[in-house]
Amino acid sequence: MVLARFNDRDESAPAEAASAAAAPDAGRVTPMMEQYVEIKAANPDCLLFYRMGDFYEMFFQDAEIASRALGIVLTKRGKHLGQDIPMCGVPVERADEYLHRLIALGHRVAVCEQTEDPAEAKKRGGKSVVRRDVVRLVTPGTLTEDTLLDARRNNYLAAIVRARVSSPAEEGRFALAFLDISTGEFRLTECDRVGLAAELARLEPGEIIVSDALYGDADMAPMLRALPAVTPLTRDVFDGATAERRLASYFAVATTDAFGAFSRLELTAAAACVTYVERTQIGKRPPLSPPLREAQGATLAIDAATRANLELMRTLSGERRGSLAAAIDRTVSAAGSRLLAQRLAAPLTDPPAIEARLDAVGALVADPALRGDVRASLAAAPDLARALARLVVGRGGPRDLAAIRDGLDAAAALAARLAQLAPAPAEIAQAAAALRAPDPALTAELAAALADELPAFKRDGGFVRAGYDGALDETRALRDESRRVVAALQARYADETQVRALKIRHNNVLGYFVEVTAQHGDKLLQEPLKRTFIHRQTLAGQVRFTTTELADLEAKIANAADRALGLELAIFERLAERVIALAESIKAAAQALAAIDVAAGLASLAAERDYVRPEIVAGLDFTIAGGRHPVVEQAIDGPFVANDCDLSPPQISSHDSASAGRIYVVTGPNMAGKSTYLRQNALIAVLAQMGSFVPARRARIGVVDRLFSRVGAADDLARGRSTFMVEMVETAAILNQAGPRSLVILDEIGRGTATFDGLSIAWAAIEHLHETNRCRALFATHFHELTALAAKLTRLHNATVRVREWHGDVIFLHEVVAGAADRSYGIQVAKLAGLPAPVIERAKLVLAELEAEDRTSPARKLVDDLPLFAATPRAAPAPAARDEAAEAVIKALAALNPDELSPREALDALYALKLAAAKKQ
Ligand code: ADP
Ligand code: MG
C-alpha cells in the first residue's frame, strides 16, 4: 500500500521527485532541497509540511519525529550533503487528521504550499523548482477547522504579560488577553498572581504565549511549565511601545481609543495576541471582535482546586460525563454549548445582570410552545461563527457558505417566532434584534447559488447550482459534451481495431490515452493502425497509445473543465466576499443564537427537572429549601432526598449577627450524604449566579463573590496528589483569602493526618472561619468533638445526616437535620461492606471497651478550658504533653516481651498501647 502511494506521488510531481532523488555526486544540493532548507530555516520550531503534488512531505528530523508520532512509514529519498534524506508524508486529503494528532501531541506545524502551477515552473526551465511558501502555522491556539476543534468548547489563545517591577503599586500585576479565532471572541483583564492562576483554570486556553523573558523567569517557571502548550516568543511580540499601533492596525482603525481605555499592560497583552495570530495565519486576519475588558469582580472567583473539586466542567477523573456541565447542558447547538460552558465557568456577581439572564430563562419556562419552536429552529442552525471565521481566513469551503445560508435562515425564523413573545425580556429582545440584522438578500443569493449536494472542498467544483450562472452552464455543457465524445471515440476505435477491450483512460502524467492489453499491443504497433496510434508506454500488462484526435479532444476537455472550475471559484470568492462584508452582523447573529440556545436549554432543564428561579439579593442570605444535588439526582436510581440549608445571618440580634452568615458543622457516618450535601449547596450558588434556575423548592441567595471548596486528603486520590501537604496548602489559601461574601465548603479537612492533629487543625480552622473570615461555610467532619464548638461560636450550627439502625444494620436516610451525629456507625458500614463476621464481632467488643474508657468527652472540656480563638496569643508554643505520652508508651513497650505473648495477648497489648497514647494526650 505504501509503495502504491509512492507511485502515485511520482506521477503527480514527476520532475521534482526526480530532481530530489537524483543527487549523483555527494555534497551537491539539489535546487529543491535548497528551497526546503531555506523554508525550514525560517520555521525552526515547527514541523514543516512541504507540499509535493498530492502529499505533504516531511524530511530529515521532522520526518523522524512525525513518523514516530503518527505511526507512518519512514523512508529515504535521495541524498543531501552525502547523507540519506529521511522522509515521510501524509496525503493532502487526510492532512487534517494527521494535523490533529500532531497538535494534540504538542507539535506546531508549518504548512508549505505550492504557490504556482508546476507547469509554470517547467516553463522557466527543466531544473526549476515550483515556488512554495508557508501559508499558515498550525498551533494549538489558532485552529479554525471543525475537525481540529471540539465543537462544544472554546479554544482560546491567551497572552500573559507581567508588569515591570519598577513601581511598587504595579508589583505582581499581570495582564491576560485571550481570544478564540474560530469564533472571534477577544477579551482582556488585569489580575494578580492568584487571580491569574484562577483565570487560566477558568479558560483552559489551548495555547498560552509569553515572552522569552517571562518563560525563563525563575519565579514564573514552575507555574508556566505545569501548563500545557506554552509558547515562548521573542521580545518584539510583547513590546509595549508598539502595542497600540499593532492593535490598531489589526482592526484597521486609527486608534484603539474607541475600544475603551486600556492600560499599557493590557494593550501589550492584546497586541501580542493579534501579532501572533497574524504570524500564524501569515497575514490573514480572522474576524475578531474588538477587545473587551472583563470587569474586575464581575464574576464569581473560583480557583483551580475548587473548580476541579466541584467537578464543574469535568469529573476528577477527567471526563465530561458526570460533571455539572454535562448534567445541565440541554443546548441543541455547538455555539450554545460553548456559551453555556463560558457562563458556567464564570458566574456573575451583579444582581441585575443575573436577573436579566433569569428573566430570559423564566420567559421560556413559562411558554413551553415557544420553547419547543425555538429549540427546533436552533437545532437546524449550523455553527455560524466558525464557518464565518474559516471563510474570512480563506480556508472556507462550499459547505461553509451553506452553513451561513442555513444559519441566517434559522436566525430569521427564530426572530419571527420570538417577536410573538410580548413583552419580551431584555435579553431575548436584544437577541431577536441581532437575529434580524443580517441582510436577507444574502441568504437568498446563497440559496440560489449553491447546489443541493456540496463537495468538501471548493477545488472539487460542482457546488454552483445549474441555472445560476449562464457562462458556467455553457462551459459545463461543453465539458460534458466532450466526455460523451470520448465515449463515442472509444467505441469507434474498438470497432476500427477490432479490439473489444480497448479503453480510453486518463491519468495525471499521460492525460487521456488509449489502452489495450499486452496481447493486442502488437496489432496497434503495426501498419496500418500504427499510423493512427502513437505509442506512449508499455507496462507489464498493458500498452498505451495516443492519437492526434484524442490529443485535440483532451485539450478541449481540459480547457472546458478548467474554465468551469475557474468560473465556480470566482463565484465562490464573490459569495465569500459578500459574506465577509456582513461579518459583523453575522457574528452578532451567531452570538444571539447561542444566547437564545442557552436560555432555552436552561428553561428545558428547569421544566424537566423541576428547578425554581432563585431569588438573588444583595445581602448575605443563603437559604435553600428542598435543595438537591443537580448531578447526583440525575445519576441515582432511587429518589433523591431534598435538604434545606440556611447560612443566612441569624435573625436574633447579637453584636455581630447581621454582618456575617452562618457556618454549618455537618456530622454523620460515612456514606450518609455529607459530601453530597456540601456540594449541592455550592453548585446551587454557581447555578443561580450563572443565571440558571436551581434544583430546590425555594432559594434565596445573597451573591457570593468567591467560592472555595476543599476535600480532605483521603478523598482526593483521583487527582493523584493525596498528600496531607496539598490539603493544608489549599486550606491555607482559603483561610487567607475568604471574606464575608465568600462561600466555603470544607469536606473532612484534617483527615489526612493523625486523629489529634487533624482534630486540632479542624478545630482551629473553624474558629478562624467564624471569627476572622466571617464567611458562610459548610464544614463536614467525622470529628464529633467539633460539634461542641457550637456552644461558644454564635453563628455556628450543628447539622447531621440522619441514619437509622435496624436489626444491627444501618439505613441511610440522607436527611439533614439540626444536631450532632450520636456516633459514626463505622462498624455497621463495615458490615455493609462485607467485612467477615468475626472481625465485626471483635470490633464491637473493642469499641465498647474504648467507649467505656472515654466517658468524659475531652472536647467538651476543651471548649470550656480553651480561651476563644481570637483571644489566643498568636504563635503560643504548644505544651509538651506529647512527650509525656510518648514516654508512657515507650515504657509500656519496654515492659512487653513479644516472644511470650499469644496472638490474642499481642492484640490486646496493642489496643492498650493505643489507649495509653490517647489518654495521655
Ligand atoms: P459521605 O460524604 O457522608 O460519606 P456521600 O455524600 O459521599 O456521603 O454520599 C454517599 C452516597 O449516598 C452518594 O453517592 C449518593 O448515592 C447517596 N446520597 C447522598 N445524598 C443523598 C440524598 N440526599 N438522596 C439520595 N441519595 C443520596
Ligand atoms: Mg464524604
Q: Please indicate whether residue 632, judged by its CB atom, sits closer than 6 Å to ligand 1.
A: yes
Question: Looking at ligand 1, which residue's alpha carbon is closest to its atom 25?
Answer: 640
In the structure grid, which three cell numbers stand for residue 628, read together? 438537591
Closest CA to 335 of 140, 611, 149: 149
- The pLDDT assigned to 229 comes to 87
Antiparallel, parallel or unpaired: β 534-538 and 542-546 = antiparallel
Task: Decide: helix, strand or coil at residue 490.
Answer: helix
Mean pLDDT by 10 residues, the chain (921 residues): 37 44 58 91 92 92 91 86 89 88 88 87 81 92 83 92 74 90 91 89 93 90 86 92 94 86 92 94 86 86 91 91 96 94 95 97 96 92 91 91 94 93 92 91 94 90 93 88 86 90 87 90 85 89 91 84 92 95 93 96 97 95 97 93 94 62 91 93 98 98 94 53 72 89 90 76 91 94 88 91 82 89 74 79 80 60 56 43 68 78 80 74 47
Mutational pocket test of ligand 1: of 624, 632, 782, the residue with most ligand atoms within 8 Å of the beta carbon: 632
Q: Please indicate whether residue 98, judged by its CB atom, sits closer than 6 Å to ligand 1.
A: no
* Distance from Cα 806 to the centre of ligand 1, integer Å: 19
Cβ pair 524, 545 in contact under 8 A: yes
List, as one string, the DSSP characters of 171-188.
TT-EEEEEEETTTTEEEE
Place of cell 461492606: 833
* Burial tier of 889 (Cβ tally within 10 Å: 0-12, 13-18, 19+): middle
Q: Please indicate whether residue 675, judged by its CB atom, sits closer than 6 Å to ligand 1.
A: yes
Give the C-alpha distances (Å, rounded to integers) separating 222 from 191, 193, 228, 728.
19, 13, 12, 20
Whether the CA torsion 161, 167, 172, 174 is positive or negative: it is negative
- Cβ neighbours of residue 117 under 8 Å, at least 6 residues apart? none
Question: Looking at ligand 1, which residue's alpha carbon is closest to its atom 6?
Answer: 673
- Distance separating alpha carbons of residues 740 and 776, to the nearest angstrom: 7
Q: Please indicate whether residue 628, judged by its CB atom, sits closer than 6 Å to ligand 1.
A: no
* Paired strand residues for 187: 178, 292
Q: Please indicate whether residue 671, judged by its CB atom, sits closer than 6 Å to ligand 1.
A: yes
Atom of ligand 1 nearest to the CA of 628: 23
Place of cell 515556488: 131
Neighbours of 386 (CB within 10 A): 27
Cis amide linkage into residue 91, ω under 30° from 0: no
- The pLDDT assigned to 809 comes to 79
Ligand closest to 673 (CA) is 1
Question: Looking at ligand 1, which residue's alpha carbon is closest to its atom 20?
Answer: 673
List, as one string, the DSSP characters of 760-793.
HHHHHHHHHIIIII--EEEEE-S-GGGGGGGGT-
- The pLDDT assigned to 502 comes to 92
- Distance separating alpha carbons of residues 2 and 147, to the nearest angstrom: 25
Q: Please indicate whether residue 670, judged by its CB atom, sits closer than 6 Å to ligand 1.
A: yes
φ and ψ at 546, to 5 degrees? -130, 170
- State the amino acid at position 143 in one-letter form: L
In the structure grid, which three cell numbers stand for residue 351, read together? 444582581
- Distance separating alpha carbons of residues 171 and 163, to the nearest angstrom: 7
Mutational pocket test of ligand 1: of 641, 676, 710, 803, the residue with most ligand atoms within 8 Å of the beta carbon: 676
Cβ pair 92, 57 in contact under 8 A: no
Cβ pair 210, 193 in contact under 8 A: no
* Distance from Cα 683 to the centre of ligand 1, integer Å: 15
Q: Please indicate whether residue 642, judged by its CB atom, sits closer than 6 Å to ligand 1.
A: no
- The pLDDT assigned to 600 comes to 97
Mutational pocket test of ligand 1: of 309, 814, 817, 824, the residue with most ligand atoms within 8 Å of the beta carbon: 814
- The pLDDT assigned to 883 comes to 62
Q: Please indicate whether residue 182, judged by its CB atom, sits closer than 6 Å to ligand 1.
A: no
Question: Looking at ligand 1, which residue's alpha carbon is closest to its atom 26?
Answer: 640
Q: Please indicate whether residue 636, judged by its CB atom, sits closer than 6 Å to ligand 1.
A: yes
Closest CA to 666 of 569, 839, 801: 801
φ and ψ at 715, to 5 degrees? -85, -5
* Paired strand residues for 189: 176
Q: Please indicate whether residue 676, judged by its CB atom, sits closer than 6 Å to ligand 1.
A: yes
Give the C-alpha distances (Å, rounded to integers) separating 6 from 88, 95, 344, 390.
10, 16, 50, 32
- The pLDDT assigned to 750 comes to 76
- State the amino acid at position 804 in one-letter form: R
Q: Please indicate whether residue 441, judged by its CB atom, sits closer than 6 Å to ligand 1.
A: no
Neighbours of 307 (CB within 10 A): 20
* Burial tier of 113 (Cβ tally within 10 Å: 0-12, 13-18, 19+): middle
Could you say which DSSP state residue 465 is in?
P
Question: Looking at ligand 1, which residue's alpha carbon is closest to its atom 5?
Answer: 673
- Distance separating alpha carbons of residues 409 and 402, to the nearest angstrom: 10
Q: Which residues place a Cβ less than 5 A from the ion ligand 2?
A: 675
Q: What is the pTM of this model?
A: 0.78
- The pLDDT assigned to 639 comes to 93
Q: Please indicate whether residue 545, judged by its CB atom, sits closer than 6 Å to ligand 1.
A: no
